[in-house]
Each structure stands twice: as structure tokens, then as C-alpha cells.
């Protein structure tokens, strides 16, 4: 049993009720709506002491076993380099069997069965795919218009080993994980797939087409080879 629980208090104008957030780094935060005092926070922590101890114990066990890391199922920050977005992540336990991701003013909030690593991972993947469906289509459309390409349909997927593809009928598929790449590499992948609209192979003519829109494509390929294993694992 933990004799004393250290916690911080934050007053949020968006909060409608008090809540407790336990983070993977073993920190505890009490979020209060305006009008509630530190005395209320102390009472709330005492009331939820058993749940807080259980959550801290589980996070501690995962960390010792090597199952918990900032890059694994419980990130403290989600960084979408392609669009220059950094989002702090907080976790809140609720009675729900699932985990959902909510975009709030401070970043991302995961609510639900946050002890379940699979549920947390799936929730983040669902959110990333939805975010990619918002961000990637206009990016591809701008590049297609800039360089005179016309594709039929764009599909956003969450794949384990492919960044993108182009079919013989002009349909393009992009991986939602493109948002995790630096902007110049995200751009390269899109230009690569657009070039397949002219050459559905990797012939010298194809690479000449890529070079017309990305003069540094060879260095970008080398970067992709270095980065891809860190993202696809």
C-alpha cells in the first residue's frame, strides 16, 4: 500500500467535473473545474486511493517488465511531424470496456479501460487513421494539381509495411503513418505514388519521372530506409 500519493492540481475552464489522470510516467494529476478548491482535490484523491494505487502498480509492473515505453502503447506525446503537430497524451480510467481518444485543448485524452494495452493501442490507431483521412487527401490533391497528375480515388489505410501503392486503374492508397514522417519524406512518398500513374513499375523512366518533381529523391530513399524500421518495427 502506498502511504502517501503525490499529485498535482490543475484547474481547467473546460472541465465539468473533477477527474484524476494517472500517467505512464507514474505521475498523478487532479483536474478541477473552476470553483473547486485544493481541499476538494485532497478529498477526491483519498476517495480514489485504491484505484490510483492499482493504476500506479500496473504502470510500474509494465515498466519493470519492459512492456512500457514512450514509443509503445502508452506514449506521453504524439508527434505528427508531417503536419508539425505535437500532442501531449493523458489517460483517464472509466468503467468503459473500450478506450476512446478525445482531442482536447491540451492534447489527446484517452478514456476508458486504460490498463488494457491492446485497447489503448487500437484507440490510438483508430485516431491516427481518422486524422490521416483529414490531413492527407488535401496534401495529395495539391501535389497532383501542381504537377499535372490525375488519380481516380484515394484510400487511407493503416498498414504494417507499405507506405503507399498505386493501382493500374489510377487508385492510390496511402498509409496513415505518413503523418509520423518529416514533411519532405511524406511529400516524397506521395510523389512516388503519383509517378506510378505514368509508369506502373520501377523502371528508369519511372525514376526519371520522380526526379522531375523531387530532385533529392535518392537521399529521401536513403532516409526512408533508415526511418521505416523505427515506425513499422
Q: How confident is the model at residue 75, as a pLDDT? A: 81
Q: Are residues 102 and 156 in the same domain?
A: no
Count of domains for the chain: 2
The pTM (predicted TM-score) of the whole model is 0.71
Whether the predicted pLDDT of 147 surpasses 90: yes
Whether the predicted pLDDT of 5 surpasses 70: yes
- The band of 3, judged by pLDDT with boundaries at 50, 70 and 90, is low
Tell me the average pLDDT of the chain.
87
Domain boundary among 126, 154, 176: 126
By residue range, what is the domain housing residue 118? Answer: 8-126
Q: Are residues 17 and 113 in the same domain?
A: yes
Instruction: Assess if residue 3 is contained within a domain.
Output: no
What's the CATH number where 158 sits? 3.30.2010.10
Q: Are residues 122 and 23 in the same domain?
A: yes
Q: How confident is the model at residue 24, as a pLDDT? A: 65
Domain boundary among 82, 103, 126: 126
Q: Are residues 139 and 202 in the same domain?
A: yes
Whether the predicted pLDDT of 65 surpasses 70: no
* pLDDT tens-digit map of 199-216: 999 999 999 999 999 999
- Residue 78's nearest CA partner among 90, 67, 89, 92 is 89
Q: Are residues 19 and 97 in the same domain?
A: yes
Whether the predicted pLDDT of 168 surpasses 70: yes
Instruction: Assess if residue 217 is contained within a domain.
Output: yes
Q: How confident is the model at residue 2, as a pLDDT? A: 55
Cα–Cα distance for residue pair 19/208, rounded to 1 Å: 57
Residue 206 CA to chain centroid, in angstroms?
A: 32
- The band of 35, judged by pLDDT with boundaries at 50, 70 and 90, is confident
Looking at 18-22, 114-118, 131-135, 194-198, which range is the least confident one? 114-118
Instruction: Assess if residue 184 is contained within a domain.
Output: yes
Q: How confident is the model at residue 167, as a pLDDT? A: 97
Q: Are residues 208 and 161 in the same domain?
A: yes
Q: Are residues 179 and 218 in the same domain?
A: yes
Task: Of 20-34, 38-52, 181-195, give the range with the top mean pLDDT.
Answer: 181-195
As a three-state string, the secondary structure of the chain is CCCCCCCEEEEECCCCCCEEEECCCCCEEEEEECCCCHHHHHHHHHHCHHHHHHHHHHHHHHHHHCCCCCCCCCCCEEEEHHHCEEEEEEEEECCCCCEEEEEECCEEEEEECCCCHHHHHHHHHHHHHHHHHHHHHHHHHHHHHHHCCCCCEEEEECCCCCCEEECCCCEEEEEHHHHHCCHHHHHHHHHHHHHCCCCCCCCHHHHHHHHHHCCCHHHHHHHHHHHHHHHHC
pLDDT average, residue stretch 11-26: 77
Instruction: Assess if residue 65 is contained within a domain.
Output: yes
Instruction: Assess if residue 159 is contained within a domain.
Output: yes
Instruction: Assess if residue 203 is contained within a domain.
Output: yes
Q: How confident is the model at residue 73, as a pLDDT? A: 57
* pLDDT tens-digit map of 66-112: 333 334 457 888 999 999 999 988 888 887 878 999 998 878 999 98
pLDDT average, residue stretch 170-194: 97
Amino acid at each position: 500500500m502506498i502511504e502517501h500519493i503525490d499529485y498535482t492540481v490543475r484547474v481547467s475552464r473546460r472541465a465539468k467535473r473533477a477527474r484524476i489522470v494517472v500517467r505512464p510516467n507514474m505521475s498523478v494529476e487532479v483536474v478541477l473545474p473552476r470553483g473547486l478548491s485544493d481541499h476538494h482535490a485532497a478529498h477526491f484523491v483519498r476517495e480514489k486511493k485504491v484505484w490510483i494505487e492499482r493504476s500506479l502498480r500496473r504502470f510500474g509492473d509494465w515498466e519493470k517488465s519492459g512492456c512500457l515505453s514512450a514509443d509503445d502503447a502508452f506514449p506521453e506525446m504524439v508527434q505528427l511531424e508531417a503536419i508539425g503537430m505535437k500532442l501531449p497524451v493523458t489517460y483517464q480510467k472509466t468503467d468503459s470496456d473500450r478506450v476512446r481518444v478525445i482531442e482536447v485543448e491540451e492534447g489527446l485524452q484517452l478514456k476508458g479501460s486504460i490498463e488494457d494495452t491492446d485497447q489503448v493501442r487500437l484507440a490510438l490507431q483508430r485516431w491516427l487513421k481518422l486524422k490521416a483521412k483529414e490531413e492527407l487527401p488535401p496534401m495529395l490533391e495539391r501535389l497532383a494539381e501542381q504537377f499535372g497528375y490525375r488519380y481516380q480515388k484515394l484510400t487511407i489505410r493503416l498498414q504494417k509495411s507499405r507506405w503507399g501503392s498505386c493501382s493500374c486503374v489510377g487508385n492510390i492508397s496511402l498509409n496513415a503513418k505518413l503523418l509520423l514522417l518529416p514533411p519532405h519524406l511524406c511529400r516524397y512518398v506521395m510523389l512516388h505514388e503519383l509517378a506510378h500513374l505514368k509508369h506502373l513499375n520501377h523502371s528508369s523512366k519511372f525514376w526519371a519521372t520522380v526526379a522531375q518533381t523531387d530532385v533529392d529523391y535518392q537521399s529521401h530513399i536513403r532516409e526512408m530506409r533508415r526511418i521505416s524500421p523505427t515506425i513499422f518495427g
